[in-house]
Amino acid sequence: MSPPTPLWRLLAPIGSAKPETSEFLDNILSEKTYADPIRWTRFMWYAPFVQELHIIAFGTEDKHKQIIHALVEHNGGESIFPALQTLWWSPSSYSDSSYFPLFTPQLRSAILNFPHSSNASLRDPLDRSFLARLRVSSPRLDYLCVDASWGPLGVDHLTVIPSFEHLTDLNLVATTSLTWFRKLATMPRMKSLRIAYVASNKSELSRDPEQIHAPRLTAISVGGNCPSLAHLFTALGAPRLASASFHAMSDDRDRDPDYISCIKALATTCPPSTLEVLCIALDEDGGPQTLEYLTDLLDPFLPFRSITHLTLSCPMVGLVAQDHDLWAVADAWPKLRTLKLSQAYWEPCTDPTDPDSTGIPLPTADALASFHDHCPDLRELVLPPLSFNADVPAPRRRRAGESGPRHGLKTLAFGAKDLGGEDDDEEGWMERLGEQDPEPDHRQVVRWARYILDLFPKLDAEASGMACRSMSADSAWMEVFERIGDLRNS
């Protein structure tokens, strides 16, 4: 129930405004309809059926809170939702205790979103009771999310978390230390751990990593600078890890971040047979522009044959790759269902010592054939734009009598040419990529459309075109997908 408007109808005065309006909620509060024994009895008959309560950011949040507070007070300070299992709430501050009666023994999931402006209050000893109260009232909690807007979570708060004996899933949108990551990752039942930012100091990084043995951990998501993440991953041992996500950030704009060390260290945390989902984000918040070879970034994980979903986001990193690099990726991960190189662009790398160097060719249409041939389960493929004007192979022809399922790819999308350059205009980038004509050759559009449709006959052309548009792709690709739709309907 999110928000609990249907339940409030049991308390509404006759002739009230529409339930979704603030006036409707004001009428309940001003007339105190819950004091009517008949209405109260009817309400309390239905209230025990409520198992989920979401009170967060939908316009009339404060009004809903006021009603709940009034009802709790009318109920002698006891919860009005005794069977509540999931609570999503936005406390007004860290010292706000008005929602504590909603912590019930049956509660299994708690999501608490604190306002950004209250970060300073984390250091006030009087404001450190919410997790302690939650631990006492809801000892069987198995999922906890605390959104502190990336602010530091106080030691008194963190000390309480390991005492949740049944906690299996923890999400802290907050900053913690390497020491606390270790303590949280090694909780006896911990399976999924997400921490927005793990900070470290020079003293911690100067010491050899202390082993983090996390035998039950199956999913991690963590952010931090490259040295901290490399240190953390080197120490982490998670033999059951199936999903790994990290966001590497740069806090030194005068030095290129060492992304490769982070990725190599992450590849040592688990056996190649366990990892299925890998999400890598490199400096999405803006850092120094760098250049990386795609093979260098992904090579540590090519032996991980069980990967089904891979996402790489790197708007400040120019990727260097050729067709054979994408063939190597497709061949390494035959179980792929999703491959998204989103917020990424190809860098036409040139040899700085050779003024006549023409640069490494961009990937071409041939790269798509690699995913057709090696990844039969692929359903979503997002790449930086391929070289539009390069030769497009003729559609493949099935031999007489050849049977078998056609490839099931549903979404194919190409991103923008450039995401990181601030000084290059569109014309400059088209010149760098060897594509100076903004109007695509109609015949080339048809070649691409026929080729893609032949490889991926189940493609949703409309969804693919919309995905390209959402990523500000060149108009040529939108024309290709429009043409695919025309060919299918002809």
Percent of the chain predicted with pLDDT > 90: 63
Cα-based distances in Å from 150 to 119, 191, 215? 9, 22, 27
Of 61-65, 134-138, 321-325, 411-415, minimum mean pLDDT range? 61-65
Q: Which string of b and e fits 353-368 if b means at least 16 CB within 10 Å?
A: eeeeeeebebbbbbbb
What pLDDT does residue 20 have?
A: 66
Per residue, what are the HEC states of the chain?
A: CCCCHHHHCCCCCCCCCCCCCHHHHHHHHHHCHHHCHHHHHHHHHHHHHCCEEEECCCCCHHHHHHHHHHHHHHCCCCCCCCCCCEEEECCCCCCCCCCHHHCCCCCCEEEEECCHHHHHHHHCHHHCCHHHHHHHHCCCCCEEEEEEEEEECCHHHHHHHHHCCCCCEEEEEEEEEHHHHHHHHCCCCCCEEEEEEEECCHHHHHCCCCCEECCCCCEEEEEEEHHHHHHHHHHEECCCCCEEEEEEECCCCCCCCCHHHHHHHHCCCCCCCCCCEEEEEECCCCCCCEEEEHHHHHHHHCCCCCCCEEEEECCCEEEECCHHHHHHHHHHCCCCCEEEEECCEECCCCCCCCCCCCCCCCCCCHHHHHHHHHCCCCCEEEECCCCCCCCCCCCCCCCCCCCCCCCCCCEEEECCCCCCCCCCCHHHHHHHCCCCCCCCCHHHHHHHHHHHHHHCCCCCHHHHHHHHHHCCCCHHHHHHHHHHHHHHHC
87: nearest Cα among 73, 115, 106 = 106
Main-chain dihedrals φ then ψ at residue 41, nearest 5 degrees: -65, -45
pLDDT, tens only, 290-300: 889 999 999 99
What pLDDT does residue 286 have?
A: 64
Cα-based distances in Å from 101 to 54, 76, 164? 15, 10, 19
Task: At 67, list the tokens.
Answer: 């009603």
Compute the distance between CA of residue 138 and CA of residue 197 in angstroms, rounded to an integer: 27
Task: At 104, list the tokens.
Answer: 């019930």
- What contacts 24+ positions apart, CB below 8 Å, involve 425-431? none
Task: At 35, list the tokens.
Answer: 């004091």
Q: For strand 277-282 and strand 243-249, is the pairing parallel, antiparallel, or unpaired?
A: parallel
pLDDT band at 460 (very low <50, low <70, confident <90, very high): very high
Cα Rg, the chain, nearest whole Å: 27
pLDDT, tens only, 333-380: 999 999 999 889 998 776 555 555 567 889 999 999 999 999 999 999
Residue 206 has pLDDT above 50, yes or no: yes
Return the amino acid letter for 43: F
pLDDT band at 17 (very low <50, low <70, confident <90, very high): low
Q: Is the pTM of this model over 0.85?
A: yes
Of 263-272, 281-290, 345-354, minimum mean pLDDT range? 345-354
Q: How far does Cα 128 stand from its chain's mean position? A: 29
What pLDDT does residue 240 have?
A: 98
Q: Which residue matches tokens 């303590």?
A: 183
What pLDDT does residue 429 have?
A: 43
pLDDT, tens only, 27-40: 888 889 899 999 99
400 C-beta neighbours (distance < 10 Å), count: 5
313 C-beta neighbours (distance < 10 Å), count: 18
Q: Which string of b and e fits 53-83 if b means at least 16 CB within 10 Å?
A: bbbbeeebeebbbbbbebbbeeeeeebbbee
What pLDDT does residue 351 have?
A: 53
What pLDDT does residue 165 have?
A: 95
